[in-house]
């Protein structure tokens, strides 16, 4: 474990973040978009924990920040899913490209 350099974790986080961003921008199903956003937030958590252990000045603050980011991510997901739920009841669809009621 100790043999793994910090840059490996950072690249993992960066790759996860990019996968999440790609998914959030291209997927058609809203649930998958929300999952992708969670992926991006989890990439941030990996970053924070890595810096908190291997950073220039390692300290515990990063882990505390990660805890807060986790709970906020959960709140975001819950509200997002609840809104999706309301939308599905009215519209019977969760596809992003069908959300086009407002065009100028």
Least distance (Å) from another protein to the CB of residue 59?
6
Query: From the centroid of its chain, how far is CA 51?
Result: 18
Q: Does 12 bind another protein (CB under 8 A)?
A: no
Least distance (Å) from another protein to the CB of residue 25?
8
C-alpha distances (whole Å) from 5 to each of 9, 44, 47 are 7, 18, 13
Q: Does 15 bind another protein (CB under 8 A)?
A: no
Which of 29, 57, 95, 97 lies at the binding interface for another protein (CB under 8 A)?
Answer: 57
Are residues 87 and 94 in contact, defined by beta-carbon separation less than 8 angstroms? yes
């Amino acid at each position: 474990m100790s043999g793994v350099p910090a840059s490996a974790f950072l690249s993992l986080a960066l790759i996860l973040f990019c996968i999440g961003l790609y998914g959030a921008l291209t997927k058609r199903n809203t649930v998958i978009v929300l999952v992708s956003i969670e992926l991006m937030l989890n990439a941030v958590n990996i970053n924070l924990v890595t810096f908190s252990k291997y950073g220039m000045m390692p300290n515990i603050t990063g882990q505390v920040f990660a805890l807060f980011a986790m709970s906020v991510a959960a709140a975001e997901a819950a509200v997002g899913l609840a809104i999706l739920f309301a939308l599905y009841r009215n519209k019977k669809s969760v596809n992003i490209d069908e959300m086009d009621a407002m065009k100028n």
